[in-house]
Amino acid sequence: MAALPTVWFYTDFGFEGPYLGLMKAALLAECPAARVTNLMADAPRFRPRPAGVLLAALVRWLPRDALVVGVVDPGVGGERRPLLVEVDGRRFVGPDNGLFSAVLQGGRRCRAWRIDPSPFRLSESFHGRDLFAPAAGRLLAERSLPLTELDPGQLEGRYWPVELAEVIYIDGFGNAVTGLSGDAVDPLLFLEVCGRRLPNARTFSEVPPGTPFWYVDSLGLVEVAVNQGRADRFLDLEVGSPVRLCRHAPRP
């Protein structure tokens, strides 16, 4: 049996309300055979840069030919360009606001195109439904989609640092994901956050209940946690809280 064409939604507007459903309807109108998977619906809200760092950590788990519709778009209705980006075989549809910067910088083979919005009827405030989802549907259905090739080096945020020394996401358990890669980080380092220096542990069971620490999470990012507690409340963390790795232990 042939695999169904699949698109992955990555958005910041949550599961509440009609938004995901309307995006799915717009996509299926162009490609009725498509299958839609919600990769994430609570990406960092209104913040393309941390959302992009998180997206880059997630996409390694997607198929090599994945098509992602990314909608973290605080500039909707403005001058930012609608994009199709291809990175090592994976395709991304969304706004030119830096959302795909970290993905591009992690790729070896990158191309980019501006999507011509003229075939679509656009509202002023919901291009996820009116442009990005139907454009992805046309790609899946191998239908005509007017494109103009761009230099990937000229896209918004193309040369932003791929790591971000701040909290980029807080999950439902209160764990705080940072934009720091855990690759080759010395576990003897401390993580300074909100005036405290936290030790490393390999996992939750290595520290007593109620103890804050940092570890390398399943996405390969440095994460702040409290065993059987909420790090966000314990340490007063929010998206954007700065962090840094340091060698000195906290003062007694």
Question: Concatenated DSSP letters for 216-228?
Answer: E-TTSEEEEEETT
Cα–Cα distance measured from residue 230 to residue 222, given in angstroms and rounded to the nearest whole number: 16
In whole angstroms, give the CA distance from residue 5 to residue 141: 8
pLDDT tens figures, 136-195: 999 999 999 999 999 999 999 998 998 999 999 999 999 999 999 999 899 999 999 999
Under CATH, what is the fold of the domain 164-246?
A: Elongation Factor Tu (Ef-tu); domain 3 (2.40.30)
Orientation angle between helical segments 19-30 and 133-141, nearest 10 degrees: 30
pLDDT at 251 over 90: no
Segment 205-223, tens digit of pLDDT: 999 999 999 999 999 999 9
Q: For residues 83 and 123, give the distance between their C-alpha atoms in angstroms, rounded to a whole number.
A: 17
CB neighbourhood size of 140 (10 A): 21
pLDDT for 248 equals 75
Burial label for 248, CB within 10 Å (0-12, 13-18, 19+), is exposed
What residues contact 40, with CB distance under 8 A and at least 6 apart? Answer: 9, 10, 11, 54, 58
6-154 and 164-246 in the same fold: no
Cα–Cα distances (Å) from 2 to 5, 9, 102, 138, in that order, read 9, 22, 32, 19
> Of 9, 68, 5, which Cα lies nearest the Cα of 31?
5
Lowest pLDDT segment from 4-8, 232-236, 247-251: 247-251
pLDDT value, residue 3 = 66
Res. 252: pLDDT tops 60: no
Mean pLDDT over each residue of the chain, to the nearest integer: 95
Per-residue pLDDT at 1: 44
The stretches of the chain forming alpha helices (DSSP H) are: 19-30, 48-58, 101-105, 127, 133-141, 231-235
CATH class of residue range 6-154: alpha beta
Rounded distance between C-alpha atoms, residue 178 and residue 163, angstroms: 9
Torsional sign, CA 50, 56, 57, 58: positive
Range 103-112 average pLDDT: 95
Please give the structure tokens belonging to residue 75: 């500039």
| Percent of residues, the chain, with pLDDT higher than 90 | 94
The b/e string for 215-236 (b: 16+ C-beta within 10 A; e otherwise) is bbbebebbbbbbbebbbbebbe
The residue among 26 and 4 whose pLDDT is bigger is 26
What are the sequence ranges of the domains in the chain?
6-154, 164-246
- pLDDT over 70 percentage in the chain: 97
pLDDT for 84-103, tens place per residue? 999 999 999 999 999 999 99
pLDDT range class, residue 250, cuts 50, 70, 90: low
The residues facing 242 across adjacent strands are 166
Q: What is the pLDDT of residues 164-177, one digit of tens each?
A: 999 999 999 999 99
pLDDT in tens, 12-31: 999 999 999 999 999 999 99
- Say how far apart CA 225 and CA 174 lie, in whole Å: 7
